[in-house]
Chains A and B, each alone.
Chain A
Amino acid sequence: MFTYDRVLNKCKKGRVEMKLANEAGFSNNDFIEMYRKMWQIRIFEETLEQLYKNGEIHGTMHLCTGQEATAAGSAGLLRKQDWITSTHRNHGHSIAKGTSIEAMLAEILGKKTGTNQGKGGSMHIADPDHGHLGSNGIVGAGFPIAAGAALTAQMNGTDQVVICYSGDGATNEGSFHEAMNLASLWHLPVIYFVENNQYGMSTATADSMNIRHISQRSQSYGIEGITIDGNDLIEVINTTFRAIQKAQSGGGPTLIEAMTYRYCGHSKSDQRLYRKKTEEQWWQDNFDPIKRTKKTLLEHGILTKEECAQIPLVVQTEIKAAVVKVRKDPKPDLTDLETQVYAE
């Protein structure tokens, strides 16, 4: 497994920077595992698309196809005891944090065996056993919640860190600014990871803010902000790794703006009238995170062409099998309707 602990061990030996697997000292398998995760995310989303077309999914969903590197390269660095908070577009983060694909499928197909026992659906995947504090349907609500979890870590004196995922649009919410200020003031071990996929639903970032980079907003709160190529897995890993280290050493929060692009619409009702098909094609042709990672792995001899082709096929088979299995799972019982409103 590619884990943060391994990175840390290498770091202790005096190598903070890592450019590639072999340079940073990761085994080839670590990188292959991350590449596999990216395929899992992509195929999971494509599978949902199909299930939705079949009429098997009740409710909408927000797919993250095209944003696989931001999820895998950041949540993939965390240990089980570290925490994330996520958004309506959470499937990538959830998979990368270690939530079971089968339990997610079950949740989205409305099964009792789902992560949330069928009560949350796609938008609210939560899995505290794997440090996933939950996905939120209210844009921007996760910012202070993540700060609260980071405060728990700080007050308990642990080295746990929190990654708070958001989209670009969420940074226009007041909660972003309040949380940023408080997290900075209290030096909380939280990383604000903004996936700038260029659109808040239909509104382009340029039409919703008068600054060039969302990372500039960090200056107002006395924290470090950085804009990176979010479709470059290595850059995501390096940046997140440094932010984790800083958080653990009492350096407080970091605002990471990862530039990326969502291939599909905001949700299932989106016909994408606000952007050109040529723009979408341009991103897919030139900046696809999976293609770019594959190229790197091939160039460094970590994988052969055949092995590269094999990975998505294996993932595809696994997810197909999960769908077949989960379809047979029971629905929640009507007696579950009024349970869990209050905790014991």
Chain B
Amino acid sequence: MKEITYLEAIHEALDEALSNDEKVYLLGEDIGVYGGGFGATKGLLEKYGAGRIRSTPISESAITGVAVGSAMTGMRPIMELQFSDFVTIAMDQLVNQAAKIHYMYGGSTKVPLVMRTAAGSGTGAAAQHSQSLENWLAHVPGLKVVQPSCAYDAKGLLHAAVEDNNPVMFYEHKLLYPLKEEVPESKFLIPLGVAAVKRAGSDLTIVATGIMVHKAIAAAEILAQSGIEAEIIDPRTLVPLDEDTILRSVAKTRRLLVVTEAVKRSGFGGEIAAVVAESDLSMQLLAPIMRLGGKAIPIPCQQDLEYAAVPQIEDIVKSAMKQMDAFKGGLV
């Protein structure tokens, strides 16, 4: 084990995947000398050459289509979309092509590609470079959606994504790139569809995705000072979703708070809430399910406004307290 950053973990997984399988190649804008939008591919051009580290013109539709076509014919492309907002320009190839080809062609063709992209707010990049649109793709049958919250998960999940025979959307959060933790130096896999219990607790379940996992953990520490023990579940992959781990936790705590950075309206938080609401547990809950998510606004640039646009630690603490109060109010 070695302490490395989230960004280094991704770089390491890419490096290992490239060296393990000659069918793996990278493509995307500025992934060569520049090292990719945030540096994940730095040094790989020198190591693997321009034939496998393919820096492209600014053509998201072509990048994605080329990834699809090469995946259909035996390659295992890992493409980078510099900002997750650019998924909008690649949407036809992801939604109408990559997601549907296996089914629509009667199982005759596989599309094993990974789309890596940097998502989320907090960098002052404003409305067109700060979104969290992972739920758009989670809605589409045929795609898998991965959202790692830490370096360890990022490496293990990226390896699993590369080895998967389906199109896997891999959402990295920009603010997580510098976060360090211990990660095995050699290759390992975290299966897609297995949630992680990031903190154990018995009073309330907080299911948080991506960067919100860290905010939820920080909130849990504050709540602990008031004697409230929150259990933090990180689904790690939205599709497939590990419903069992969520339900097991809620069966224990009988309270659920869901936190996503993505806009709350029509977001994936609603899906997680529904998993519990539609289960037998819904009649045993001690408080109504609550969701926290981004405000229904474009992400603004100015720091204070940007901060207020998405859930913060204090919002999570407040919502958790409210859940506990609902019990005190006599809801049994």
State yes or no: do A and B come from one complex. yes
- Flag if A119 contacts B103 (CB, 8 Å): yes
Q: Which of A117, A126, A146 contacts B109 (CB 8 A)?
A: A126
- Which partner residue on chain A sits nearest B69 by CB separation? A148
Q: How far is the CB of A61 from chain B (nearest CB, A)?
A: 16
Q: How far is the CB of B203 from chain A (nearest CB, A)?
A: 37
Q: Which of B62, B73, B108 contacts A182 (CB 8 A)?
A: B62
- Flag if A343 contacts B165 (CB, 8 Å): yes
Q: Does B128 contact A (CB under 8 A)?
A: no
Binds B, one of A71-79, A127-135, A227-235: A127-135
Q: How far is the CB of B105 from chain A (nearest CB, A)?
A: 4
Q: Beta-carbon contacts of A103-136 to B below 8 Å, as 1s and 0s?
A: 0000000000011111110001011110001101
* A341 touching B69 in the complex, CB below 8 Å, given contacts A118-B106, A138-B97, A141-B92: no
A124 to B104, CA, bound (A): 7
Q: How far is the CB of A221 from chain B (nearest CB, A)?
A: 11
Interface members, chain A 126-166 (any B CB < 8 Å): 126-129, 133-134, 136-138, 141, 143-153, 155-156
**Chain A residues with CB under 8 A of B102:** 340-343
A264 to B274, CA, bound (A): 49
Q: Beta-carbon contacts of B58-102 to A below 8 Å, as 1s and 0s?
A: 010111111111111111010000000000000011001100011
**Of listed A83, A133, A136, A152, residue having the most chain B CB within 10 A:** A152
Interface members, chain B 205-230 (any A CB < 8 Å): none
Q: How far is the CB of B303 from chain A (nearest CB, A)?
A: 35
- Flag if A341 contacts B142 (CB, 8 Å): yes
Q: Does B141 contact A (CB under 8 A)?
A: yes
Binds B, one of A171-179, A247-255, A275-283: A171-179
- Flag if B103 contacts A341 (CB, 8 Å): yes
- Flag if B106 contacts A143 (CB, 8 Å): no
Q: Which of B69, B77, B106, B165 contacts A133 (CB 8 A)?
A: B69
- Which partner residue on chain B sits nearest A140 by CB separation? B92
Main SS at interface, chain B: mixed
**Chain B residues with CB under 8 A of A118:** 106
**Chain A residues with CB under 8 A of B144:** 342
Q: Does B330 contact A (CB under 8 A)?
A: no
* A144 touching B106 in the complex, CB below 8 Å, given contacts A182-B57, A343-B166: no
Q: Does A181 contact B (CB under 8 A)?
A: yes
Q: Does A185 contact B (CB under 8 A)?
A: yes
- Flag if B62 contacts A152 (CB, 8 Å): no
Q: Beta-carbon contacts of A169-208 to B below 8 Å, as 1s and 0s?
A: 0000011001101100110000000000000000000000
**Chain A residues with CB under 8 A of B77:** 148
* A147 touching B62 in the complex, CB below 8 Å, given contacts A152-B69, A181-B57, A341-B141: yes
**Of listed A133, A143, A341, A343, residue having the most chain B CB within 10 A:** A343
Interface members, chain A 59-83 (any B CB < 8 Å): 83
Q: Does B329 contact A (CB under 8 A)?
A: no
Q: How far is the CB of A217 from chain B (nearest CB, A)?
A: 15
- Flag if B106 contacts A148 (CB, 8 Å): no
A115 to B58, CA, bound (A): 36
- Flag if B166 contacts A342 (CB, 8 Å): yes
**Chain B residues with CB under 8 A of A146:** 69
A58 to B29, CA, bound (A): 43
Q: Does A344 contact B (CB under 8 A)?
A: yes
* A144 touching B93 in the complex, CB below 8 Å, given contacts A133-B73, A155-B75: yes
* A83 touching B105 in the complex, CB below 8 Å, given contacts A143-B65, A344-B165: no
**Chain A residues with CB under 8 A of B62:** 143-144, 147, 175, 178-179, 181-182
**Chain A residues with CB under 8 A of B73:** 83, 133, 148-149, 152-153
- Which partner residue on chain A sits nearest B60 by CB separation? A178
* A178 touching B61 in the complex, CB below 8 Å, given contacts A126-B105, A340-B102: yes
**Of listed B74, B106, B109, B141, residue having the most chain A CB within 10 A:** B106
A118 to B102, CA, bound (A): 13
Q: Does B25 contact A (CB under 8 A)?
A: yes
- A-B contacts, 12 of them at CB < 8 A, read A116-B106, A119-B106, A124-B104, A128-B105, A134-B109, A144-B68, A148-B72, A152-B70, A156-B74, A181-B62, A340-B102, A341-B102
A-contacting residues of B (Cβ < 8 Å)? 25, 51-52, 54, 56-57, 59, 61-75, 77, 92-93, 96-97, 101-112, 141-142, 144, 165-166
Given contacts A155-B52, A175-B65, 5 further A-B contacts (CB under 8 A): A144-B68, A152-B74, A178-B65, A342-B166, A344-B165
